[in-house]
Amino acid sequence: MQALLNSGLSHFESAGVTCGLIVAGNNLAQKYMANNWRSFSSNDQFNPRYAMSFWDTNQLGCLSDILSIHGPGMTVGAAAASGNAALFQAFHWLRGGIVQRCLVVGAGVEFSDLELESFALLGAAFCDRGTISADKACRPFDRSHGGFVFGEGSAAVVLESLEPDRQTLATGEIVGASLNLDGTHLPEPSVTGEVRSMQAALSAAGISPDQIGYLNAHGTGTPTGDQTECHAIRSVFQEHARELLINSTKALTGHCFSASGVIELVACILQLNAGFAHPNRNLENPIDPEMHFVGSQAETLTAEYGLSNAFGFGGINSSIVVRRRMLDAGRN
Q: Tell me what percent of the residues of the chain surpass a pLDDT of 70.
A: 95
Q: How confident is the model at residue 37 (pLDDT cuts 50, 70, 90)?
A: very high
> Domains of the chain (ranges plus CATH)?
2-324 (3.40.47.10)
Check residue 308 and give its pLDDT.
Answer: 98
Q: Is pLDDT at 313 greater than 50 in this prediction?
A: yes
Average pLDDT on 68-85 reads 96
Answering whether pTM is above 0.85, one says yes
Check residue 5 and give its pLDDT.
Answer: 87
- Rounded Cα distance between 297 and 270, Å, is 17
Q: Tell me what percent of the residues of the chain surpass a pLDDT of 90.
A: 83
Q: What is the mean pLDDT of the chain?
A: 93
Average pLDDT on 3-25 reads 87
Check residue 329 and give its pLDDT.
Answer: 40
Q: How confident is the model at residue 327 (pLDDT cuts 50, 70, 90)?
A: low
Q: Are 64 and 73 in contact (CB under 8 A)?
A: yes
Look at 130-134, 274-278, 322-326 and tell me which has the smallest mean pLDDT: 130-134
Check residue 331 and give its pLDDT.
Answer: 45
Check residue 167 and give its pLDDT.
Answer: 62
- Rounded Cα distance between 140 and 218, Å, is 9
Interval 171-223: pLDDT, tens: 999 999 999 999 999 999 999 999 999 999 999 999 999 999 999 999 999 99
Check residue 8 and give its pLDDT.
Answer: 86
The H or E element containing residue 213 is strand 212-216
Interval 222-276: pLDDT, tens: 999 999 999 999 999 999 999 999 999 999 999 999 999 999 999 999 999 999 9
- Rounded Cα distance between 219 and 141, Å, is 7
Strand partners, 150: 255
Alpha-helical (H) ranges within the chain are: 2-6, 30-43, 50-53, 57-67, 82-95, 113-122, 191-205, 223-237, 250-253, 260-274
Check residue 168 and give its pLDDT.
Answer: 63
Check residue 12 and give its pLDDT.
Answer: 81
Interval 144-166: pLDDT, tens: 999 999 999 999 999 998 776 66
